[in-house]
Amino acid sequence: MKLLENLNPQQREAVLHTEGPLLVLAGAGSGKTGVLTHRVAYLIQEKYVEPYNILAVTFTNKAACEMRERIAKLLGFDSPALWISTFHSASVRILRRHIDLFNFSQNFVIFDTSEQKTLIRECMKELNINEKQFPYQVFMRKISKGKNDLITAEEYGERYKSYSLDPSADVYYLYQKKLKQNNALDFDDLIFYVVRLFRKYPEVLHKYEGLFHYILIDEYQDINKAQYALVKSLADKRRNLFVVGDEDQSIYAFRGADMNIILNFERDFPEARIIKLQQNYRSTGNILDVANELVRNNRNRRDKDLWTHKSEGDRPICHEALDERDEAVFIIDKIKESVKKEKRKLSDFVILYRTNAQSRVFEEVLMSEGLPYQVVGGLKFYDRKEIKDILAYVRILWNPTDTMSFKRIINVPPRGIGDKTVEKLLEFSEETERNLYDILIDVNFLRNKKLPAKSVNALQVFKKLMEDLQKNIDEKSISELLEEVMDKSGYLQSLKDQNSVEAVSRIENLEELLKVAQEFIYNHPAADIDEFLALTSLSSDIDMMEESKESITLMTVHSAKGLEFPVVFITGMEEGLFPHQRSIDTKKDFDIEEERRLAYVALTRAMEKLYLSYAWRRSVYGFGSDYNRPSRFLDEVKDYISRTGEEKDMFASEVARPEIVTMEKKKTTFKSNFYRRGDFIKHKEFGKGVVMEVIGDMMKPQFLKVSFQSAGMKKIDISSIC
């Protein structure tokens, strides 16, 4: 069969097993997307399954689009009826049809993280909760966890009513109340309400059970309890559930992902078949040896080893840097060298780090070298002020009860509506239980409330603007509506009037928003405004990543999941950084194993070349812990990596710094003029320091490069040593 001819035996077996539950344990780079897409194509082409009877779920819009394109290529045609989406997008689609059962309007909006933050702070203010005592992030985490555990605000309050000093239940209750007033849902609500919908209204569940004959779930190791409940309810009747995952790549426990769900698949579906995909198509043999050796140290996993038909390739290299700047310079130099000698493109390279803060020094060095780069995981496109402002206009036009958006743009650009006027409107809204838009259009009400004439006139100008934008809205495409909002609101002109570099950048971002809208129209010709708004709310920074852009990519390891690059640099491989100190402090095997899985994900992004680096000193931690030991993960794979420099073994006690934690840890008696790296010295002016480099003849060195506790890196004459 032509459809299956490019698949290996295990992949083919997974595609052909159409009936009953199937777990495909797909190692990194083993072609899981190909298996998913071929299986969908096989169901349609060979089993004559109607496209609308198939639900395929993945975790990013980008992955969903790629899957749809690949299926269309395999079949020779596109099928819009095929349900391929993220969990959240599928949930939005279901809720648009049934949310009225929970007393929401079908034109509900989706609040993103920043809007959640604002709303929670409003709740805290209303409840007189001191943010210094209770940071808003605490409530965001607790509410999110409550929803992912399928606990309503009322149930949460009942469960934790004895915790009198913890106001979380009150915040959760008020937060949900305010969401409803705004006809809004947050991200967690989307799945939360669908699960509740299926449990409370069996007839609705029956409808979708009947609709989805075959269900396919990608990245099954990353699902949380709410997503699991959704999948389980849809699949329980027909049992045609196909899940793909790899517990070795489970790295999102902090977001509520529960790895036990994939580990317990056979318990949930005793009749399930298990197929392992272990042939890797991405990486060279030496890279896979490192990855396999590392992850073997985890106990909570199924046994599997990746292998490849590719060549062994270059042995992964580990570099010890003096400090974080030295680390950055080494990496950028390697990139420049590779571009020059191997004719590589800048887009072939990715620099991975454990925490966002590590990007700073790389950005500084890249800017000084004049090399283009993109940071994935910084400020998201849809989080930029100008984007949120324009979309807020559209959201009000779609959903006039959206108070958050109303407050955001009522005086943007400035039109003479001050904070006091807005406060008054909010008071009127509370008193009358009317939304702000309804109050705005009631001129007599405003005048009777004795608002200043100047304020009333300004509000009327805003009202007229919104009415003009509302005219014939159903006849406008989303890109036409966006252009009209930018123009008629005066927003675009106000940016042009600023005549600054920042304003130009903001205008460029608005132009990019128009391009996004035009692409959306092209790909979804029948879509409504609400579908575009859902896209903007649910889009991730990975979805906006510019793959074709000729630039070096910088990102966290978490952001790199699912991506691949010819050359990968994994930085900051130090105890306390990778693995992170939080995981070390808990003293729990699970937390260290999650960090090791994260390192495994980082390693398996590399196709051809892999570099690992660590810095002896890293200023981010401050003195006392900035002399760092190499990561335990390096020790676990030391037999499979080479290192830069003359030293043969970075972990041997006679080389480098076996016991160094603080300056007082090692006492050295200096004899003659013989010094080596790792020795402690005391300088007449700079005090205590560590020898980083010997310059000159080893027996009679003329100079030493020394990292001092108080003065940083210095080149000194040996005669100045006490």
Element holding 23 (H helix, E strand): strand 22-26
Q: What's 24's DSSP letter?
A: E
Q: How many CA atoms does the CB half-sphere of 530 hold within 13 Å?
A: 16
The question of whether 32 is a catalytic residue gets the answer yes
SS3 192: helix
Q: Which residues pair with 274 in a beta bridge?
A: 23
The one catalytic residue in 68, 301, 605, 617 is 605
The one catalytic residue in 12, 32, 304, 408 is 32
- Give CA–CA dist 397/467, Å, rounded: 9
The one catalytic residue in 219, 320, 323, 595 is 219
- Give CA–CA dist 536/389, Å, rounded: 13
- Give CA–CA dist 699/697, Å, rounded: 6
Q: Which residues pair with 571 in a beta bridge?
A: none
* Dihedral sign from CA coordinates of 559, 562, 564, 569: positive
Q: Which residues pair with 215 in a beta bridge?
A: 55, 241
Q: Which residues contact 277 (CB under 8 A, 6 or more apart)?
A: 10, 11, 14, 24, 25, 26, 27, 30, 31, 32, 35
Question: What value, to the nearest 5°, has the Cα angle with vertex 286 and ends 283 and 287?
Answer: 45
The one catalytic residue in 170, 218, 222, 320 is 218
State yes or no: cis peptide before 51, omega within 30 of 0.
no
Alpha carbon 2 to chain centroid distance?
Answer: 37
- Give CA–CA dist 614/683, Å, rounded: 26
- Give CA–CA dist 311/285, Å, rounded: 6
The set of long-range contacts for 447-454, using a CB threshold of 8 Å and a minimum separation of 24, is 449/424, 451/421, 451/424, 452/421, 454/416
- Give CA–CA dist 124/507, Å, rounded: 35
The question of whether 86 is a catalytic residue gets the answer no
SS3 676: coil
Q: How many CB atoms lie within 10 A of CB 411?
A: 16
* Dihedral sign from CA coordinates of 58, 64, 68, 71: negative
DSSP assignment of 587-616 equals T-HHHHHHHHHHHHHHHTTEEEEEEEEEES
Diameter of the chain by CA atoms? 95
Looking at 441-500, list the stretches that DSSP marks H as alpha helix, in order from N- to C-terminal side. 443-448, 453-470, 478-488, 491-498
Per-residue tokens: 181: 């007033």
Per-residue tokens: 637: 């794979």
The question of whether 47 is a catalytic residue gets the answer no
The question of whether 358 is a catalytic residue gets the answer no
- Give CA–CA dist 396/673, Å, rounded: 76
Element holding 98 (H helix, E strand): helix 87-98
The one catalytic residue in 18, 33, 355, 374 is 33
- Give CA–CA dist 573/596, Å, rounded: 12
- Give CA–CA dist 397/50, Å, rounded: 37
Q: What's 658's DSSP letter?
A: T
SS3 293: helix
Tell me how far apart the terminal alpha carbons of the chain are, to the nearest angstrom.
Answer: 80
- Give CA–CA dist 272/265, Å, rounded: 8
The one catalytic residue in 11, 249, 401, 604 is 249
SS3 716: strand
Q: Where in the sequence numbering do the catalytic residues fall?
A: 32-33, 218-219, 249, 605
